[in-house]
Amino acid sequence: MADGQTDPSPISQDGSSDDSSSASVFVRLRKRIRSVRDTRLADRLARIDAEYVREKARRITEADLDTVVDRAEAIEARFRKDGGIRRLLDDGRLLLDLIRDVRAGRYRGLPVWTLSAVGFALLYVFNPFDLVPDALPLVGLLDDAAVVSACLSLVEQDLRDYRIWRRANRRQEETTDRDAPGPDLISS
């Protein structure tokens, strides 16, 4: 993150910022990075910020987005399994649902750039050989969490819009299901 920028609060399940935590996930990760002894790893981790995500998102292709959809279960498993990014599980699921809905043509109100940023973040989590290999204890997952956190801060408004769309879509489906005629119980 560039000097002089404020650090965004993590996005909560309802789309609002979580001001109850004293610092965002990104800030806490930065503090952990400072404690890393290997300066090469610390340098790699320090490169991860919003600009890093913007730069990498520009390279995402349609095939990459298809890979996210195809590997969604494995990506979600990474969020569940790995302690360093487990706290981002709900956000990771939301990002996966967003990609699925866009790729299936159900949700169309998303800028291409946002789709690319989300696709990049999810592929980054899936890739065990990224800036800091995931096999390294403690720091191996910090870069994954930092990339997801930076992505969340960049696409915050688009995620709020998506959440609103999802809630409205679910209510519409529930209303349709309720109004549908039941099975015909009278037989001839």
Domain ranges of the chain: 25-165
Q: What pLDDT, on the 0 to 100 scale, is given for residue 24?
A: 59
Q: Which of 111, 117, 125, 119 is nearest to 158 (CA)?
A: 111
Q: What pLDDT, on the 0 to 100 scale, is given for residue 128?
A: 77
* Residue 50 CB neighbours (<10 A): 18
Residue type at 158 in one-letter notation: D
Kindly report the average pLDDT of the chain as a whole number. Answer: 77
pLDDT digits (tens, 9 = 90+) for 78-102: 888 766 677 788 899 999 999 999 9
CB distance 11 to 17 below 8 Å: yes
CB distance 78 to 178 below 8 Å: no
Alpha helices in the chain (DSSP H): 25-34, 39-46, 50-57, 62-70, 72-81, 83-86, 89-103, 112-126, 142-154, 156-179
Tell me how far apart the alpha carbons of residues 125 and 130 are, in angstroms, rounded to a whole number.
8
Q: How many helices and strands in the chain, by DSSP H and E? A: 10, 0
Q: What pLDDT, on the 0 to 100 scale, is given for residue 27?
A: 62
Class of residue 82 by CB neighbours under 10 A (exposed 0-12, middle 13-18, buried 19+):
middle
Q: What pLDDT, on the 0 to 100 scale, is given for residue 5?
A: 40
Region of poorest pLDDT, from 32-36, 42-46, 132-136: 32-36
pLDDT digits (tens, 9 = 90+) for 100-156: 999 999 999 899 999 999 999 999 988 877 777 777 766 677 888 889 999 999 999
Tell me how far apart the alpha carbons of residues 125 and 147 are, in angstroms, rounded to a whole number.
8
Q: What pLDDT, on the 0 to 100 scale, is given for residue 138?
A: 64
Tell me how far apart the alpha carbons of residues 173 and 186 are, in angstroms, rounded to a whole number.
27
Task: Give the pLDDT band (50/70/90) at residue 176.
Answer: low
Task: Provide the CB-side half-sphere exposure for 50 (13 A, CA).
Answer: 14
Give me the mean pLDDT over the 172-182 stretch: 65
